[in-house]
Amino acid sequence: MANDPRMMGYLMRALSAEMAAVQQYLTQASLTAMWQLGAHSSRFRRDAEEELGHAQRLIERMLVLGIPSNGTQLPPIRPGRTLEEMLLIDRDLEIEVIRLYEEAAHYCARVRAAETQILFASLLQEELGHLSDLDHLLTEIQQGATS
């Protein structure tokens, strides 16, 4: 199963997505720190650490399968000009990775790559939780703007 090119592609795409998220969240952490939004800066740093943990788990799985974790081409950073814009951009990124993990988990289940399917399913659940957190935070910010 380690030589399944489609599964290898999912793993590589997932690694690229996680590394892009790390870069995105660290940039946003630095910006919000400059804007003196310490609590939000800390949250973005925690998010970056979580995504880095996801990347590590993907790399470990790739190594077990004998797949080198080659360098990835990261998309440009889109930090946002306001906190709300940052969160909306991050929400879009989370939705993209959720779709990737759903597709990857289904494919791995279909080809009976159980351990890789479990990894993708686990990452999917964590990203769904992150999306829920973003939605909650966006609601708070939007309600605060209207009050």
The pLDDT tens digits of the residues spanning 3-51 come to 799 999 999 999 999 999 999 999 999 999 999 999 999 999 999 999 9
The CATH number that applies at residue 139 is: 1.20.1260.10
Is the pLDDT at 71 greater than 70? The verdict is no
Is the pLDDT at 81 greater than 90? The verdict is yes
pLDDT at 72: 74
* Residues 125, 143: Cα–Cα separation, whole Å: 27
pLDDT at 146: 67
In total, how many domains does the chain have?
1
Tokens for 147?
């009050």
Determine the Cα angle at 43 with ends 37 and 48, to 5°: 125
Q: What's the 3-state SS for the chain? A: CCCCHHHHHHHHHHHHHHHHHHHHHHHHHHHHHHCCCHHHHHHHHHHHHHHHHHHHHHHHHHHHCCCCCCCCCCCCCCCCCCHHHHHHHHHHHHHHHHHHHHHHHHHHHHCCCHHHHHHHHHHHHHHHHHHHHHHHHHHHHHHHHHC
Parent domain of 140: 5-146
Amino acid in the structure at residue 110: R
Q: How confident is the model at residue 73 (pLDDT cuts 50, 70, 90)?
A: confident
